[in-house]
């Protein structure tokens, strides 16, 4: 009997020794110590043992049981500790690792250009105002000397909401709103979105931005217009920039002109950038038409003024030498980040 118990114990310890998982140890417990286990089987065989030997055998069985239990318990603890340590090693956080960079956006080149233009005019004492993108025909056309049958209306065909309400084609409508307020003098710029039914290409878009300018005061002359816009061009494109005014026609100004600046790439000699011209057109301008003043309730005998309109995208494209306007609308961060 002693030998049998020794054998059971040896076998149990061997199995414990070779267990590599908690489940295996549990199997050993069931197989040796459980109700149907080997030691229980030995106890059940006690009736074959002589009565006087039974206490001794019983004690031996208990000792064996205790020994197996002790070793088993130790192994379980050891294995649990090893598992815990392995898990902690796996979950370790390296606090010295650089943190993930937060992806912040970037100011859009059109925004940068707008802020630059605003800075220049605010520096000259102008106010920045805004007008509505949805306009009445009156503000967009009629009050700017473009009556219903005027050919200029065709050129700026647009998106009509009703016969009378439309998406503005030009920020010039803000001139009328400012003049109607009846507060003089006026020195304002009005940046904003405008709409035209144009196809998208490298230089056109159905929606783009303009910056309108308007000055109305006593004794404002063409000299004020020229001086102001020449200063603007210098601040925007560089001190050496020269300007040239070409006669043009706008219904709401008289006389009207388009202003060119010397190419800031070649200084006016002519290059690929200015298409050999040496000059680049950047804005429309003129002296506010007396009839326009009158329609908005300003006496043209007492007051005069000048106005101008610049395409914002055009400024951004020129300033940053971007050759396709569509890039400004795609908002690809890889592109925007460069400015
Ligand atoms: N509104 C004109 C356009 O969209 C631009 C313009 C020209 C505005 C002359 C003006 C101006 O204020 O005086 O083509």
Which CATH number characterizes residue 264's domain? 3.30.930.10
Asked if 237 contacts 268 with a C-beta cutoff of 8 angstroms, the reply is no
Closest by Cα among 251, 247, 250, 267 to 259:
247
Domain closes at, from 28, 63, 90: 90
How many whole angstroms from 310 Cα to the centroid of ligand 1?
7
For residues 171 and 151, which has the higher predicted lDDT (pLDDT)?
Answer: 171
With a cut of 80, say whether residue 245 has pLDDT above it.
yes
Task: Examine the domain organization and report whether 145 and 216 are in the same domain.
Answer: yes
Residue 285 Cβ inside 6 Å of ligand 1? The answer reads yes
Domain count, the chain: 2
Instruction: Name, in order, each residue with C-beta under 8 angstroms of 298's C-beta and a sequence gap of 6 or more.
Output: 179, 184, 216
Taking CA atoms only, the protein residue closest to ligand 1 atom 8 is: 309
Any domain includes 101 = no
How many whole angstroms from 225 Cα to the centroid of ligand 1?
14
Residues 2-51 have pLDDT tens digits of 788 888 889 989 999 998 889 999 999 999 888 888 888 888 888 888 88
Residue 307 Cβ inside 6 Å of ligand 1? The answer reads yes
Task: Examine the domain organization and report whether 162 and 276 are in the same domain.
Answer: yes
Task: Examine the domain organization and report whether 190 and 270 are in the same domain.
Answer: yes
Asked if 57 contacts 39 with a C-beta cutoff of 8 angstroms, the reply is no
Shortest-distance atom of ligand 1 to CA 169? 4
Where does the pLDDT of residue 54 fall: very low under 50, low under 70, confident under 90, or very high at 90 and above? confident
Task: Examine the domain organization and report whether 86 and 224 are in the same domain.
Answer: no
Any domain includes 182 = yes
Where does the pLDDT of residue 175 fall: very low under 50, low under 70, confident under 90, or very high at 90 and above? very high
- The pLDDT score that the predictor gives to residue 37 is 86
Any domain includes 298 = yes
- The pLDDT score that the predictor gives to residue 61 is 87
- The pLDDT score that the predictor gives to residue 58 is 85
Any domain includes 143 = yes
- The pLDDT score that the predictor gives to residue 154 is 78
Taking CA atoms only, the protein residue closest to ligand 1 atom 2 is: 309
How many whole angstroms from 323 Cα to the centroid of ligand 1?
23
Range of the domain at 258: 109-336
Residue 215 Cβ inside 6 Å of ligand 1? The answer reads no
Residues 263-297 have pLDDT tens digits of 988 989 999 888 899 999 999 999 999 999 999 99
Task: Examine the domain organization and report whether 145 and 273 are in the same domain.
Answer: yes
Domain closes at, from 43, 60, 90: 90
Computed on alpha carbons and rounded to an integer, the radius of gyration of the chain in Å comes to: 45
In angstroms, what CA-CA distances link 270 with 244, 247, 274? 15, 22, 6
Where does the pLDDT of residue 188 fall: very low under 50, low under 70, confident under 90, or very high at 90 and above? very high
How open is the CA angle 120-124-127, to the nearest 5 degrees? 85
Residue 250 Cβ inside 6 Å of ligand 1? The answer reads yes
Task: Examine the domain organization and report whether 68 and 29 are in the same domain.
Answer: yes
Shortest-distance atom of ligand 1 to CA 171? 1
Any domain includes 214 = yes
How many whole angstroms from 83 Cα to the centroid of ligand 1?
78
Task: Examine the domain organization and report whether 296 and 158 are in the same domain.
Answer: yes
Task: Examine the domain organization and report whether 131 and 171 are in the same domain.
Answer: yes
- The pLDDT score that the predictor gives to residue 42 is 81
Report, as an integer, the average pLDDT of 126-144: 97
Task: Examine the domain organization and report whether 240 and 138 are in the same domain.
Answer: yes
With a cut of 90, say whether residue 57 has pLDDT above it.
no
Task: Examine the domain organization and report whether 34 and 83 are in the same domain.
Answer: yes
How many whole angstroms from 285 Cα to the centroid of ligand 1?
6
Strands 186-195 and 127-128: parallel
- Compute φ and ψ for 251, nearest 5 degrees: -65, -30
Domain closes at, from 34, 57, 90: 90
- Compute φ and ψ for 298, nearest 5 degrees: -110, 135
Residue 212 Cβ inside 6 Å of ligand 1? The answer reads yes
Task: Examine the domain organization and report whether 196 and 321 are in the same domain.
Answer: yes
Task: Examine the domain organization and report whether 156 and 187 are in the same domain.
Answer: yes
Residue 311 Cβ inside 6 Å of ligand 1? The answer reads no
Tell me how far apart the alpha carbons of residues 192 and 198 are, in angstroms, rounded to a whole number. 18
């Amino acid at each position: 009997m002693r030998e049998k118990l020794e054998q059971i114990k040896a076998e149990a310890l061997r199995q414990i020794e070779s267990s590599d998982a908690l489940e295996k140890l549990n199997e050993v417990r069931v197989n040796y110590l459980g109700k149907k286990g080997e030691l229980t089987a030995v106890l059940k065989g006690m009736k074959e043992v002589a009565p006087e030997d039974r206490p001794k055998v019983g004690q031996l069985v208990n000792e064996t049981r205790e020994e197996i239990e002790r070793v088993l318990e130790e192994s379980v603890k050891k294995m649990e500790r090893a598992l815990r340590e392995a898990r902690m090693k796996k979950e370790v956080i390296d606090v010295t690792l650089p943190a993930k960079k937060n992806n912040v956006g970037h100011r859009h080149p059109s925004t940068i250009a707008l802020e630059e233009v605003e800075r220049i005019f605010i520096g000259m004492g102008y106010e920045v105002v805004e007008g509505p993108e949805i306009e009445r025909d009156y503000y967009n056309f009629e009050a700017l000397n473009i009556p219903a049958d005027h050919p200029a209306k065709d050129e700026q065909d647009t998106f009509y909401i009703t016969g009378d309400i439309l998406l503005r084609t030009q920020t010039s409508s803000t001139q009328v709103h400012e003049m109607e307020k009846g507060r003089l003098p006026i020195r304002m710029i009005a940046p904003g979105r405008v709409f035209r039914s144009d196809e998208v290409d490298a230089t056109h878009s159905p929606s783009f931005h303009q910056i309108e300018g308007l000055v109305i005061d006593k004794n404002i002359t063409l000299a004020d217009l020229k001086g102001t816009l020449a200063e603007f061009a210098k601040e925007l494109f560089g001190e050496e920039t020269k300007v040239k005014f070409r006669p043009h026609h706008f219904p709401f100004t008289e006389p009207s002109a388009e202003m060119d600046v010397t190419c800031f790439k070649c200084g006016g000699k002519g290059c690929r950038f200015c298409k050999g011209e040496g000059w680049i057109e950047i804005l429309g301008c003129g002296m506010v038409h007396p009839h326009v003043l009158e329609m908005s309730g300003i006496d043209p005998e007492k007051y005069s003024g000048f106005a101008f309109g610049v395409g914002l995208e055009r400024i951004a494209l020129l300033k940053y030498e971007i050759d396709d306007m569509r890039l400004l609308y795609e908002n690809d961060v890889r592109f925007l980040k460069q400015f």
